[in-house]
A and B are shown apart, each in its own frame.
Chain A
Amino acid sequence: DQQVKQNSPSLSVQEGRISILNCDYTNSMFDYFLWYKKYPAEGPTFLISISSIKDKNEDGRFTVFLNKSAKHLSLHIVPSQPGDSAVYFCAARRPYLYMRFGAGTRLTVKP
């Protein structure tokens, strides 16, 4: 029962261009969505989040968009930098319950 789906296992972009990572969910009860970044041999670290009552949240180079009708969210990174190369996990949370994670997308930013 995969309620949070990241259908692209990998993405490769050129330095300076935009990276767009996508995430779909099935449970309309999710009220909060998060993106985590993970480097090899480290734990995931929180990147950015969005409440279900919003459709956009921006933090520096990172912007998350939420389309509730399509049950879809995306993370935009502009401009992409080589240090952004990592695995990105999408997560979703129901009120007072635990987060569910997607399978992750490996982003490679080429110099």
Chain B
Amino acid sequence: NAGVTQTPKFQVLKTGQSMTLQCAQDMNHNSMYWYRQDPGMGLRLIYYSASEGTTDKGEVPNGYNVSRLNKREFSLRLESAAPSQTSVYFCASRPDTEAFFGQGTRLTVV
């Protein structure tokens, strides 16, 4: 039972490069989320998808795009990476109340 799976686990990008963070869940949850964790800031929501085919901005959406490919998969894209996007990124899915998180992607932009 995998739960929420994120790939990759680690990534180093140069400023201006693009990349896509992948997330898949096997729990048949409707809602999926992308958070970033920064020291002293906790977890801040980037984008979320309440159901397949819908996406909405969270607290810090600038510089990111998302795609809800199907019910299982929710990807996060950085079109032109900036050093300010150095962070740990977490994907989560939620059936109703508590959310289930992936193990995270540690991204460094140099």
Of B12-20, B62-70, B72-80, B92-100, the one touching chain A: B92-100
Is the CB–CB distance between A43 and B42 below 8 Å?
Answer: no
Residue of A nearest to B100 (CB): A46
> Which chain B residues lie closer than 8 Å to A89 at the CB level?
42-43
> Which chain A residues lie closer than 8 Å to B50 at the CB level?
96
Whether, in the assembled complex, B44 has its beta carbon less than 8 Å from a beta carbon of chain A, the answer is: yes
Query: How many contacting A-B pairs (Cβ < 8 A)?
Result: 49
Nearest-neighbour CB distance to chain A for B23, whole angstroms, equals 11
Taken together as a complex, chains A and B put the C-alpha atoms of A102 and B97 apart, in Å, by 17
Taken together as a complex, chains A and B put the C-alpha atoms of A99 and B101 apart, in Å, by 13
Nearest-neighbour CB distance to chain B for A42, whole angstroms, equals 6
Whether, in the assembled complex, B61 has its beta carbon less than 8 Å from a beta carbon of chain A, the answer is: no
Which residue, B33, B40, B90, B99, has most C-beta atoms of chain A within 10 A? B99
> Which chain A residues lie closer than 8 Å to B59 at the CB level?
100
Is the CB–CB distance between B58 and A104 below 8 Å?
Answer: no
> Which chain A residues lie closer than 8 Å to B99 at the CB level?
46, 99
> Which chain B residues lie closer than 8 Å to A43 at the CB level?
4, 90, 92, 101-104
Residue of B nearest to A47 (CB): B98
Taken together as a complex, chains A and B put the C-alpha atoms of A100 and B41 apart, in Å, by 11
Is the CB–CB distance between A44 and B101 below 8 Å?
Answer: yes
> Which chain A residues lie closer than 8 Å to B48 at the CB level?
98
Nearest-neighbour CB distance to chain A for B12, whole angstroms, equals 17
Contact A101 B43, CB 8 Å, known A46-B99, A49-B97: yes
Is the CB–CB distance between B42 and A9 below 8 Å?
Answer: no
Is the CB–CB distance between B33 and A9 below 8 Å?
Answer: no
> Which chain A residues lie closer than 8 Å to B102 at the CB level?
43
Measuring CB to CB, which residues of chain B are less than 8 angstroms from any residue of chain A? 4, 33, 35, 40-45, 48, 50, 58-59, 90, 92, 97-104
A-B contact pairs, 9 of them (CB 8 A): A36-B101, A41-B103, A42-B104, A43-B101, A43-B104, A45-B101, A49-B98, A89-B43, A100-B59
